[in-house]
Amino acid sequence: MAGKPRVFVARKIPAAGLQRLQAAAEITVWPGAMAPPPEALLAQLAGCAGLLSLFTDRVDGALLDAVGPQLRVVSQMAVGVDNIDLDACTT
């Protein structure tokens, strides 16, 4: 992959975390205080290799199928992964 991978950050996060991400990736941060609606999340993930989600972001098979195989990493900034379909992420 040429250049830095694109990563979508689904909410504002502390500056220290953002700086670490910026060192390794081209990032886009959702500007709102609330979770992006599903259609906005899908649109933001176009061309992204990674997603940093929070517990209110639903990451299921339908989203992953729509985004496509270029999304290689789904990361969670929360305790637990109840909002992420782990089977869909690993198949």
The pLDDT tens digits for 1-43 are 479 999 999 999 999 999 999 999 999 999 998 999 999 999 9
Instruction: Walk across the sheet containing 73-76 and list its strands.
Output: 26-29, 6-9, 50-53, 73-76
Residue from 19, 73, 21 nearest 48 by CA = 73
Is residue 81 pLDDT above 80, yes or no? Answer: yes
Is residue 91 pLDDT above 90, yes or no? Answer: no
User: Span 54-66, mean pLDDT?
Assistant: 94
Q: Name the class of domain 35-91.
A: alpha beta
Is residue 61 pLDDT above 70, yes or no? Answer: yes
User: Span 68-72, mean pLDDT?
Assistant: 95
pTM over 0.85: yes
